[in-house]
Amino acid sequence: MAVILTFFFAHWFLSLFFHTFFLHRFASHQMYTTSKGWERIFYLSTWFTQGSSYLVPRAYGVMHRMHHVYSDTEKDPHSPHFFKDVWGMMMHTRNIYNSFVTRKGMPEAQFTKEYLPEWDRLDRFADHFATRIVFGVMYTLVYVLFAPSPWWYLLLPIHFLMGPVQGAIVNWCGHKYGYANYKNGDHSKNSEPWGIFLLGELFQNNHHKQGDNPNFARKWFELDPTFHVMKLMNVVGIIKLKKMVPAAVAAGHPVDKKPIAEKQVAHPVEH
């Protein structure tokens, strides 16, 4: 049992770390810069830890930038407020994501303006059906060898779909349940105290307020563990955290400390 639990949590937290650290905070938001060598190491690690459910960084980055601009409106790729259940939202997200992976769907130019990490050869190999199956077989073998009873096999689908499952939890809960520190004009929430299991990703309300801030926590009782790992990597020189420019300053306006007024969001059906 110890082997299975260790394997499950190692897979969960390692794939989640690269999901938030590389796919979200680098590919989507460019919160730090790094050398090409380190970028490749992070890229490879994202593939290896996500394995059968690997998400192509270029497609993820574009889709996530859309999510910020269109948060909780009809053009949001994954707002929980337009779907009856989480499965319907996942399928919709998958279709948009696939159209970007295959380049059949062209994103709006504003979503490709900023740098997007690309490694086509690795993506072709990693995204191949056979590669994903090999990972699935390896996960199953761990269970065949070490699971104390077949009941444990029920955890296998989570291994197979790790990346999308973690994404769906964040997108569903983080825009539906919890409290808000800011009025962002959407339904983003901070779903505490569960954020620790999602390595900071559940501070959606804080994150939507300042999309380029590498620290997702604001209050004394909030903790974003990924940010602290990034700070350490910054100190030792692996990455360079970007200096934050408040949006108002960048736009030439004085900084307004008050929460911004609620903008008009489409009013979808509430469930």
Q: Which residues bind Zn ion (CB under 5 A)?
A: 204
- CB of 239: closest distance to Zn ion in angstroms? 17
Considering the complex, what minimum distance in angstroms separates the CB of residue 216 from Zn ion?
9
Residue 96's φ and ψ, nearest 5 degrees, are -65, -45
184 Rama sector, left if φ>0, alpha if ψ -120 to 50, beta otherwise: alpha
Q: Name the residue nearer to Zn ion (CB basis): 34 or 204.
A: 204
Cβ distance to Zn ion smaller for residue 73 or 204: 204
Distance between CA 22 and CA 29 in Å, rounded?
A: 10
Nearest distance from C-beta of residue 64 to Zn ion, angstroms: 6
CB atoms within 10 A of CB 220: 6
State the Cα angle at 19 between 105 and 42, rounded to 5°.
100
The CB-nearest residue to Zn ion is: 204
Q: Closest approach of Cβ 77 to Zn ion, in Å? A: 10
CB nearer Zn ion, residue 132 or residue 242? 242
Cβ nearer to Zn ion, comparing 15 with 204: 204
- From the list 152, 255, 215, 123, the residue with the least C-alpha distance to 203 is 215
- Cβ proximity to Zn ion: between 11 and 24 the closer is 24
Both structure tokens of 18: 């690269």
Element (H, E) at 136: helix 129-146
Instruction: Give me the least distance between CB of 29 and Zn ion, in Å please.
Output: 6
